[in-house]
């Protein structure tokens, strides 16, 4: 979910890498970037969690939109999505 009130900061622009960026703006995926099924599941799980928590972390700070999440955190959600998808009931 992109916050329309904030400017976009693309990975390929001159502002630098969004994974290390501390600016208050969006980091949307570049146009045409295809997502794997695992990435879609990770994003779906992340957004469901955030929605359930009213977009607030345990300490009351806002949970960032998926596009603003660091790469290592996205990878962790992908690992969780894979574990859930492959769990036997």
Cβ(73)–Cβ(7) below 8 Å: no
Residue 72 has pLDDT above 60, yes or no: yes
Q: Where are the alpha helices (DSSP H) in 1-89?
A: 37-52, 71-86
Full-prediction pTM beyond 0.85? Answer: no
User: pLDDT (tens digit, 9 = 90+) per residue, 32-43?
Assistant: 556 788 899 999
Band (pLDDT 50/70/90 cuts) for residue 78 is very high
Band (pLDDT 50/70/90 cuts) for residue 75 is very high
User: pLDDT (tens digit, 9 = 90+) per residue, 16-57?
Assistant: 555 666 666 666 555 555 678 889 999 999 999 999 999 999
């Amino acid at each position: 979910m992109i916050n329309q009130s904030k400017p976009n900061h693309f990975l390929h622009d001159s502002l630098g890498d969004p994974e290390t960026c501390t600016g208050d703006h969006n980091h949307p995926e570049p146009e045409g970037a295809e997502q794997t099924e695992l990435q879609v599941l990770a994003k779906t799980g992340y957004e469901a969690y955030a929605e359930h928590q009213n977009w607030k972390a345990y300490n009351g700070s806002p949970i960032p939109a998926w596009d603003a999440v660091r790469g290592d955190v996205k990878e962790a959600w992908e690992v969780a999505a894979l574990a859930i998808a492959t769990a036997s009931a």
